[in-house]
Structure 1
């Protein structure tokens, strides 16, 4: 049975969901961002009970198709921003359509209706949160961060960062309270 699960954004989430499925007595075949496939099928009562356990951990089983599309888009963007260090050579819409075989205008419309923001804005917010994280770690220069996150230049990164946060990357880095948002709150 394939389950679609909301708020899976990292490898720790995958481990937590897999562990919870096993505690529930299921045998997961594959658990990845946004989905879990088990050998067993669940009836509605079992699914609701499992969902309660997952909700307690910050996850949720998704039933409707529109929410699945939105979660898939979020997972693709998270994967792109946090885990894909390869140089990004295509545009965002092509990247999404290559994984979700639907018309981009439909995907974009569903996403905007459910999230009250565009896919592009969500992508920018994710990138800015990643920039904040990398600035706090203080291991990479702004040039290296710009390259890692596929910005055309450090100047472009700085302008976008200031537009979203109201601060320059340097001011943010020097601020005593660096306010980052968790991925599930974006």
Structure 2
């Protein structure tokens, strides 16, 4: 068995694309999730090169070093938490990351800041704001419901954070029809 770590897998569509490409290369996928693929067999040098070429052409990248894998794991946990789960957990982000990655949060925080040039907290906030934008564009939930869904303590706090990050109030954002959302891998 071989575990591959893949950078820039940020959504379910990414999982489908990567799985499809792995199958085209004749690789037997045991499991796949954001940023991680487990194959039934070991990869030969030739298949690794073919895989790297395919992944790069699609905007993905295989990660070999431990630090980069850890950074991707942090990003994937945050993206999954905000965009793909109904986050009813009130667990502290630092505790959540430490528990899931079995590492000290201070190490994770320093590594992330050093490599990404932004703190984990700012990355987390940026992801939350992108989710708020998405929910505002869908226009199915009130601002109060969005605040509750994303664990904001109040609508005022969500609005203040939204304005601080985007320069717009949520109401003003909703009024302008041009799409100001970013792809998740560019947040």
**Normalized against structure 1, the TM-score is what?**
0.97
Q: Is the 8 A contact 1:172 1:178 kept in 2?
A: no
**What is the aligned partner in structure 2 of residue 70 from structure 1?**
71
Moved more, 106-115 or 65-74: 106-115
**What is the aligned partner in structure 2 of residue 35 from structure 1?**
36
Residues 57-83 of structure 1: CA deviation (Å, up to 9, x unaligned):
111100110000000000000011011
Q: Is the 8 A contact 1:142 1:154 kept in 2?
A: yes
Q: Please give the alpha-carbon distance, in whole angstroms, between the structure 2 residues aligned to 1:115 and 1:83.
A: 23
Mark the runs of 5 or more structure 2 residues left unpaired by the alignment. none
Residues 132-151 of structure 1: CA deviation (Å, up to 9, x unaligned):
01101100000010011111
Q: Please give the alpha-carbon distance, in whole angstroms, between the structure 1 residues aligned to 2:116 and 2:16.
A: 26
Compute the displacement of 1:49 (Å): 1.9
Compute the displacement of 1:178 (Å): 2.9
Q: Please give the alpha-carbon distance, in whole angstroms, between the structure 1 residues aligned to 2:119 and 2:87.
A: 24
Residues 150-176 of structure 1: CA deviation (Å, up to 9, x unaligned):
111111100000000010000000013
Q: Please give the alpha-carbon distance, in whole angstroms, between the structure 2 residues aligned to 1:82 and 1:57.
A: 22
Q: Is the 8 A contact 2:87 2:150 kept in 1?
A: no
Residues 98-146 of structure 1: CA deviation (Å, up to 9, x unaligned):
1100111111111111110000000000000110011011000000100
Matches within 5 A, 1:10-159: 10-159=11-160
What CA RMSD, in Å, does the superposition of the two structures yield over aligned residues? 0.9
Q: Please give the alpha-carbon distance, in whole angstroms, between the structure 2 residues aligned to 1:117 and 1:6.
A: 18
Structure 1 stretches of 4+ moved >4 Å: none
Compute the displacement of 1:45 (Å): 3.6
**Normalized against structure 2, the TM-score is what?**
0.97
Mark the runs of 5 or more structure 1 residues left unpaired by the alignment. none
Q: Is the 8 A contact 1:146 1:152 kept in 2?
A: yes
Compute the displacement of 1:88 (Å): 2.1
Q: Is the 8 A contact 2:81 2:87 kept in 1?
A: no
SS at match of 2:126: helix
